[in-house]
Amino acid sequence: MAKLALVSVYDKEGIVPFCEALRQLGFDILSTGGTAKLLEQSGVPVTPIDEHTGFPEILDGRVKTLHPRVHGGLLARRDVPEHVRQIEEHGIRAIDLVVVNLYPFAKTIQREGVTDEEAIEMIDIGGPAMLRSAAKNHEFVLPVIDPADYDRVLRALRQGEVPRALRRELAAKVFRAISRYDALIADYLAGHLDPSAEVAEDWPQVFHVTGVAKQDLRYGENPHQRAQFYMEPNATKATIARADQLQGKELSYNNIQDADSALQILRAFDDFEQPVAVAVKHMNPCGIGRGETLEQAFERAYEADPVSIFGGIVALNREVDRRLAERLAGIFLEIVIAPSFTEEAREVLAKKKNLRLLTVDMSQPLWRPGDVTFRRVTGGFLAQTVDLAKPIDARSWRVVTKRTPTDAEYEALRFAWRAVQFVKSNAIVVAERDKTLGIGAGQMNRVGAAEIALKQAGARAKGAVLASDAFFPMRDTVDAAARAGIAAIVQPGGSIRDEDSIAAADEAGIAMVFTGERHFLH
């Protein structure tokens, strides 16, 4: 009896010549729906699946191959006499080759405006079932999921015996692809929860992370490292992964990291409901400003540290006009991120051919319920919920000093507390109500971070406020702040030596508040 191939593909590229070659090798061909129609129209003899099973396709094609005559033919072991007896008894023909590729779920959910119903209809059921059966029984059934393997498979078949190594390789490819496919669907469904719905607090015992290759990067963090940019299938237009690049050189690995940091910091100020500008270098803010206009916000971010902004990334939360574009064009920047640019602004910035312009939809939330972040470690990875920038009620903070902050100081503390959340620990921010003045980032001791921030602020520190991402282990940071003329401090509190810091603040007439919430960032 001739060998039997089951062919059911969504991506029909190359399938006709492949099946013609199978026929020449003596295969009979079973097929479904659109694939069968294409093969028939192309002159390839084919048996429709409903003739093979004796059961029609039903439910708009949702059920067509889920039948014992299909899966019995796929799962029967030819070296087990009882299996052979049973399929013969039930008139089931053994299937030797399965050619299936899946509904394009990833492409569907990336399409602008796709509905939930459209996405769910692209969840393939029969395809993965056939592939899994074939891959499990790969000693006897050759599973082919990738059109790129058609030529290899034909070469092996022409040689008469398909090597066991190739069978196993193709089976592994099937299970790997289906695993990604299922994880992608799970990520999509989890990412489309009702924002008001409760998110389960229990962590899964097995965690799947799914990414679709988006961009080949020239190299990684350093030129000797290889790198690739993957996009989460359910990423929204609010994210860096779905940003539109209007001009400039291709994004690098470091560009993408810095741009994402800038966007996260910028969006954390959404609840301030003002134009905001953020300048970032090496994933740390070097200046944050807000104002009545976007131009004013940018100038304040620039004034915070006009040296470090050189070669940095600027993120803005309003449309960029010609006047601001002319200002930006006068500075060497790697990337400018904004919700949009006017045509006049585009004309100005087009002269900076290497400058990358990115637009991001800032009307959508950046994070969704249940979102987590990951950090790779040797042999595994860490997962944690996102440290969301929640609306700040400064009046709910606990005043621990004799002096209570003034209204103006509270507003400055609120701004500084939001900024310090996005500075690498140990982190100190010196600020006024509408701009950072000094940022001490990534120091191994807290007073060292404070000294950097205060030195950068210089004389501007007098009357300003200071924010710390974690508690003061001793009073030295408060003493340094007092020497610089700091008026008020915000910190989480919680040190066994809190009383020492409180005493130091009282001695200097500094108002200090405890938030009760830490914001380490590593």
List residues with catalytic annotation. 136, 282
Question: Letter for the amino acid at 261?
Answer: S
Q: Which residues contact 440 (CB under 8 A, 6 or more apart)?
A: 423, 426, 427, 428, 429, 448, 449, 450, 451, 452, 453, 454, 456
Q: Which DSSP category does 136 fall into?
A: H
Burial 274-296 (b: 16+ CB within 10 A, else e): bbbbbbbbebbbbbbbbbeebbb
Angle between helix 446-457 and helix 476-484 axes, rounded to 10 deg: 10
Report how far residue 418's alpha carbon sits from residue 439's, in angstroms, rounded to the nearest whole number.
13
**Residue showing tokens 């993957």:** 230
Q: Which two tokens stand for residue 250?
A: 């291709």
Sheet with 312-316, strands from edge to edge, namely 244-247, 356-359, 333-338, 312-316, 276-281, 284-290
Report how far residue 291's alpha carbon sits from residue 279's, in angstroms, rounded to the nearest whole number.
15
Q: Are 65 and 134 in contact (CB under 8 A)?
A: no
Q: Are 448 and 426 in contact (CB under 8 A)?
A: yes
Report how far residue 88's alpha carbon sits from residue 93's, in angstroms, rounded to the nearest whole number.
7
Q: Are 294 and 302 in contact (CB under 8 A)?
A: no
Please give the C-alpha separations between residue 55 and each of 51, 95, 217, in angstroms, as whole numbers: 7, 18, 50
Q: What is the 3-state secondary structure (H, E, C) of 83-116?
A: HHHHHHHCCCCCCCEEEEECCCHHHHHHCCCCCH
Nearest of 361, 339, 354 to residue 247 by alpha carbon: 354
Report how far residue 472's alpha carbon sits from residue 493's, in angstroms, rounded to the nearest whole number.
7
Beta bridge partners of 241: none
**Residue showing tokens 């992608």:** 184
The number of residues making up the chain comes to 522
Burial 490-501 (b: 16+ CB within 10 A, else e): bbbbebeebebb
Count CB neighbours of 460 within 10 A: 19
Q: Which DSSP category does 10 fall into?
A: S
CA angle 17, 23, 29 (to 5 degrees): 95
Q: Are 429 and 485 in contact (CB under 8 A)?
A: no
Q: What are phi and psi of 276, to 5 degrees?
A: -135, 145
Q: Which residues contact 169 (CB under 8 A, 6 or more apart)?
A: none
Count CB neighbours of 248 within 10 A: 19
